[in-house]
Chains A and B, each alone.
Chain A
Amino acid sequence: RKEVEQDPGPFNVPEGATVAFNCTYSNSASQSFFWYRQDCRKEPKLLMSVYSSGNEDGRFTAQLNRASQYISLLIRDSKLSDSATYLCVVILLDSGGSYIPTFGRGTSLIVHP
């Protein structure tokens, strides 16, 4: 079983729609969580961190559910420019204090006019 799983999509939505992605992780000791955005053939860039209490940044809302071991990303009022692949990243600190990032395979979002 892959440690971090995402629905690859694509999610095909019209402008203005609300869309949500989930990402599940298998290691309950995971400590930090992020969403990255990656445009086609470009480098991933941090979209937002995911905090235990949930957090919002403009049209984007991220939430963490530790009990069910998943994080979510909600995008409201989708724009054409939101079309990209969204990567979930889960950080584990091992017993030696090493930082172990695991990336999901990404969810593709296509926003159409």
Chain B
Amino acid sequence: EAQVTQNPRYLITVTGKKLTVTCSQNMNHEYMSWYRQDPGLGLRQIYYSMNVEVTDKGDVPEGYKVSRKEKRNFPLILESPSPNQTSLYFCASRGLAGSYEQFFGPGTRLTVL
């Protein structure tokens, strides 16, 4: 089944404790992206990657890092999480040819205390 997976789905952590949210897709998509979704603000792009070893900042990159060492994986790293990073996070992917449809992962609900 074609899909985007994220882990963990739920995480409660404390300020300053480094964490990584994994994202993997099995559709051989070049483009991958991370979003956060907050009430009243909608989906905002954090980082995106056009292909392996190519990453770019989105609208709200501060406090986040990403890497794209393999085509299928695009982890999101919070080196020192803070409470304002409490949010619902979505990973998405799409191919570079044809439709601009993005496929989203199921989401990761992160709480930083």
Contacts and interface: CB of A to CB of B under 8 A. Distances in A.
A46 B88 contact: no
Given A43-B106, A44-B90, A98-B50, A105 B40 contact: yes
Contact of B106 (A42, A99, A105, A106): A42
A43 B105 contact: yes
Contact of A46 (B35, B41, B101): B101
Contacts of A49: 99, 101
B107 A42 contact: yes
Place the interface of chain A in its size category: 10 to 19
Contacts, number: 42
Interface residues on B, range: 20 to 34
B107 A99 contact: no
Contacts of A46: 101-102
B44 to A, nearest CB: 8
Interface string B27-56: 000010101000011111100001000001
B37 to A, nearest CB: 9
B42 A101 contact: no
Interface string A63-106: 00000000000000000000000010001000000110101111
Contacts of B41: 105
Interface of A: 8, 32, 34, 41-46, 49, 87, 91, 98-99, 101, 103-106
